Amino acid sequence: MTDPQSRASICAIVVTFNRLEKFQRTLLRLLDEPVDHVLVIENGSTDGTREWLRGLTHDRLTVLEQAENGGGAMGFEVGMREATRRFDPDWHLVMDDDARPMPGAIAAFRATLPRPEGSVLAAVHFPDGAICDMNRPWRNPFWHLSTFTDTFLKLGGRKAFHIPDVAYRADAPLPVDGGSFVGQFIPRAAVAACGYPDGRMFIYGDDVHYTLRLAKAGFPNVFDPRITFEHECATALHGAAMRPFWKTYYHHRNLFMVYRLAAGPVLFWPILLALLPRWLRKGAELSGDERMRYRTLVRLGIRDALTGNLSRRHPEILELSGEGRA
């Protein structure tokens, strides 16, 4: 009988835009790992990424050049759709262009097969070994009474529903409800049942939204500390304001979608009413034109979320931010 870990196929999907140096490290690492296919969604980079890719020849590498930057969310939707159509893998493995498996991570994942869960989330660290907090998996406080109590009644905040540091030192998987698209392995059955990430989200929250959808559909997610990734990311916050400013539009618009799915129809509106005053006060530390532009983007994000408008074009958001091309 064939060993399941040797026959399960894995397609790694990487979305890249204007991060050539980091992306090069990611791609070369992936090609050194035992994945069956590497699918790159090249989102219209202008830093030489496209030209560098055109100079590569590798039988496991497929590159899809996009006509314009549709954001990470559209990149992952296109990537997973194309991976299914071209390769029909047992597992989709998704990651940003500045994140990559640590040596041996894919073998560690294969050693756990077969496994019954939905998506499997890796332990993500910064290159210096510290835990990458933005990729820390979590439990939905609206689905678990004790987590809800710790988060809202005991005012534990984010720490109450994200997994603790000790989970990264365990030697067994931990059930979670959601996580990020950095080192996330998604099985074929879950993709067939739940479809693909919502590419209209552009950036932020698409991974949270998708993993919640998997969990709600009966594909429970797990965090497995034995599978490790590194992420060369930098914080997106400068003070209380998000920079570049254009990101705050997507952040607040997409949070609406995430909260609606996480909280459900009964709790969502009270939660939103509690959040709105805080959101509308954001940017107070800015002055003059910057404050006006920042708050315009926040208000527009809220308005588009309330009206269900996910079709606004990215160039319009860039123009409102005053930050030019991104």
pLDDT at 6: 56
- Per-residue pLDDT of the chain in tens (326 residues, 90 and over written 9): 345 455 899 999 999 999 999 999 999 999 999 999 999 999 999 999 999 999 999 999 999 999 999 999 999 999 999 999 999 999 999 999 999 999 999 999 999 999 887 899 999 999 999 999 999 999 999 999 999 999 988 888 889 999 999 999 999 999 999 999 999 999 999 999 999 999 999 999 999 999 999 999 999 999 999 999 999 986 454 456 888 999 999 999 999 999 999 999 999 999 999 999 999 999 999 999 999 999 999 999 999 999 999 999 999 999 999 987 65
Q: Which residues of 34-55 are buried (b: 16+ CB within 10 A; e: fewer)?
A: ebebbbbbbbebeeebbeebee
Q: How far apart are CA 252 and CA 298, in angstroms?
A: 6
- In 3D space, the residue among 212, 169, 206 whose CA is nearest the CA of residue 190 turns out to be 212
| Ranges of CATH 3.90.550.60 domains, the chain | 4-231
Pairing of strands 184-187, 237-238: unpaired
Question: Can you give the chain as a three-state secondary structure string?
Answer: CCCHHHHCCEEEEEEECCCHHHHHHHHHHHHHCCCCEEEEEECCCCCCHHHHHHCCCCCCEEEEECCCCCHHHHHHHHHHHHHHHHCCCCEEEEEECCEEECCCHHHHHHCCCCCCCCCEEEEEECCCCCECHHHCCECCCCCCHHHHHHHHHCCCCHHHHECCHHHHHCCCCEEECECCCCCEEEEHHHHHHHCCCCHHHCCCCHHHHHHHHHHHCCCCEEEEEEEEEEECCCCCEECCEECCCHHHHHHHHHHHHHHHHHHHHHHHHHHHHHHHHHHHCCCCCCCHHHHHHHHHHHHHHHHHHHHCCCCCCHHHHHHHHCCCCC
pLDDT at 3: 52
pLDDT at 96: 96
pLDDT at 2: 44
pLDDT at 1: 38
The reply to whether CATH 3.90.550.60 applies to domain 4-231 is yes
pTM for the whole structure = 0.94
